[in-house]
Amino acid sequence: GVRIKRGSSRTVCEIWLCKELATDPDFEKSPVRLYPFEPGQLMGLLHFPRRGSEFRDQTVSSGWYTLRFGLQPIDGNHEGTSPTRDFLMLVAAENDDLPENWEDESLVEASAEAAGSSHPAMLCLQRPGDAAELSLRHDDVNDWWILQLQANTTADQKSKAIPIDIVVVGHAAE
């Protein structure tokens, strides 16, 4: 896992990716869809040791959350909120006992419950940076802190490490 700190001692969050993530061997990256995961797929676990916030700047209570892959809808309501459709949706760990992929509607509802609102709690995924290993970089334009992790993936029984970039601090300018 990875601990993100603000300053020398305040832990913002801790993130653990699943040991291995299945990917679609036929996936083709596009400018708005970057990652080869299935919507609803379990990606990992997040811990907020104290109250935190997510990409829409919604407050999220301290606690443990599963991270599930989600895609931003193409419905006109989300235009310009993110350069990609790829997100990690937070679900309170005690409410997530299904190892399988979640269906869109139930995932949206469970994630919204994690934020105590009508909108899902989520972390935005970004285009991977140039780092070959674990790194944290600042996007000066958006004032985002982006964590890059290496994820172990499999497709057609072949293993491969791929970078995943997550906005861990900062929010969309809505």
What pLDDT does residue 79 have? Answer: 57
Q: Is 75 exposed, middle or buried (0-12, 13-18, 19+ CB in 10 A)?
A: exposed
What pLDDT does residue 80 have? Answer: 53
Decide: 148 and 168 in contact? Cβ < 8 Å. no
Indicate the helix (H) or strand (E) that contains 67.
strand 63-71
Decide: 75 and 96 in contact? Cβ < 8 Å. no
What pLDDT does residue 22 have? Answer: 94
What pLDDT does residue 32 have? Answer: 82
Decide: 120 and 147 in contact? Cβ < 8 Å. no
Q: What is the pLDDT of residues 1-13, one digit of tens each?
A: 999 998 888 999 9
What pLDDT does residue 162 have? Answer: 92
What pLDDT does residue 168 have? Answer: 95
- Can you tell me the distance from the alpha carbon of 50 to that of 63, in angstroms, rounded to the nearest whole number? 7
Report pTM. 0.90
Task: Scan for tokens 């653990």, then name that residue.
Answer: 16
- Can you tell me the distance from the alpha carbon of 104 to that of 85, in angstroms, rounded to the nearest whole number? 14
- What SS3 class is residue 103? coil
Which residues of the chain have a pLDDT value below 50? 78
Percentage of the chain modeled with pLDDT above 70: 93
What pLDDT does residue 77 have? Answer: 53
